[in-house]
Amino acid sequence: MEINKQLKSHGSWIGKWTFVLAASGSAVGLGNIWGFPYKAGTNGGSAFVLIYLACILMIGLPIMISEIVIGRRAGNSPVNAMRRIAIDSNTTSLWRFVGWSGILAGVLILSFYSVIAGICLNYIFISATSLGLMSSPDQFAKVISSPFNLLFWHTIFMIFTALIVSAGIKDGIGRMVKILMPMLGLLMIFMVMYAMINGDFDKAIKFLFAPDFSNVTSDTLLQAMGQAFFSLGLGMGSIMAYGAYMAKDQDIVSNSVSVASLDTMVAILAGIAIFPIIFAFNLEPNSGPGLVFVSMLSAFNQMQFGQFIGPLFFVLLSIAALSSSISLLEPGVAYLSEEGILSRRKSAGMISLIAWILGIGSALSFNAWSDFKFISDRNFLDSIEFITNQLLLPLGGMFIAIFVGWFMKKSLIKDEIGEINPILFGLWLFFIKYIAPTGVALVIFFQFFPI
Ligand code: PFF
Single out the residue of 16, 37, 15, 17 nearest to residue 25, CA to CA: 17
Q: How many C-beta atoms lie closer than 10 Å to residue 171's C-beta?
A: 12
The CATH number given to whatever domain includes residue 43 is 1.10.4160
Domain membership of residue 126 (yes or no) is: yes
Q: What distance in angstroms lies between residue 228's CA and the mean position of ligand 1's atoms?
A: 10
pLDDT value of position 2: 44
C-alpha distances in Å from residue 171, one per residue of 175, 277, 319: 6, 39, 16
Domain membership of residue 395 (yes or no) is: yes
Domain that holds residue 91: 8-448
Domain membership of residue 34 (yes or no) is: yes
Atom of ligand 1 nearest to the CA of 32: 4
Atom of ligand 1 nearest to the CA of 29: 5
Each residue's pLDDT tens digit in the chain (451 positions)?
Answer: 444 455 445 667 777 788 898 899 999 999 999 899 988 888 878 889 999 999 999 999 999 999 999 999 999 999 999 999 999 999 999 999 999 999 999 999 999 999 999 999 999 999 998 656 788 889 999 999 999 999 999 999 999 999 988 887 676 667 777 777 888 888 888 889 988 998 899 999 998 888 778 878 888 888 899 899 999 999 999 999 999 999 898 999 999 999 999 999 999 999 998 889 888 878 788 877 888 898 888 878 887 788 888 898 898 889 899 989 999 999 999 999 999 999 989 999 999 999 999 999 999 999 999 999 999 899 999 999 999 998 999 999 999 999 999 999 999 999 999 888 899 999 999 999 999 999 999 988 887 887 6
Residues 6+ apart with CB under 8 A from 297: 123, 126, 127, 131, 136, 139, 140, 310
| Substitution candidate for ligand 1 out of 229, 327, 391, 392 with most atoms within 8 A of CB | 327
Q: What distance in angstroms lies between residue 311's CA and the mean position of ligand 1's atoms?
A: 23
pLDDT value of position 3: 44
pLDDT value of position 287: 76
Distance between CA atoms of residues 26 and 369, nearest Å: 30
Q: What distance in angstroms lies between residue 320's CA and the mean position of ligand 1's atoms?
A: 10
Altogether, the residues listed in the chain come to a count of 451
Could you list the beta-strand ranges (E) of 262-364. Answer: none
- 3-state SS, residue 342: coil
Domain membership of residue 353 (yes or no) is: yes
Domain membership of residue 173 (yes or no) is: yes
Atom 11 of ligand 1 has which residue's CA nearest to it?
233
Count structural domains, the chain.
1
Q: What distance in angstroms lies between residue 330's CA and the mean position of ligand 1's atoms?
A: 12
Domain membership of residue 1 (yes or no) is: no
Q: What distance in angstroms lies between residue 1's CA and the mean position of ligand 1's atoms?
A: 33
Distance between CA atoms of residues 272 and 282, nearest Å: 16
Distance between CA atoms of residues 247 and 298, nearest Å: 45
Domain membership of residue 2 (yes or no) is: no
Atom 12 of ligand 1 has which residue's CA nearest to it?
233
Q: What distance in angstroms lies between residue 200's CA and the mean position of ligand 1's atoms?
A: 30
Domain membership of residue 3 (yes or no) is: no
**Rg, C-alpha atoms of the chain:** 21
230 lines ligand 1 (CB under 6 A): yes
29 lines ligand 1 (CB under 6 A): yes
Give the tens place of pLDDT for each residue, 138-171: 999 999 999 999 999 999 999 999 998 888 767 6
Atom of ligand 1 nearest to the CA of 106: 13
pLDDT value of position 22: 87
pLDDT value of position 367: 96
pLDDT value of position 312: 84
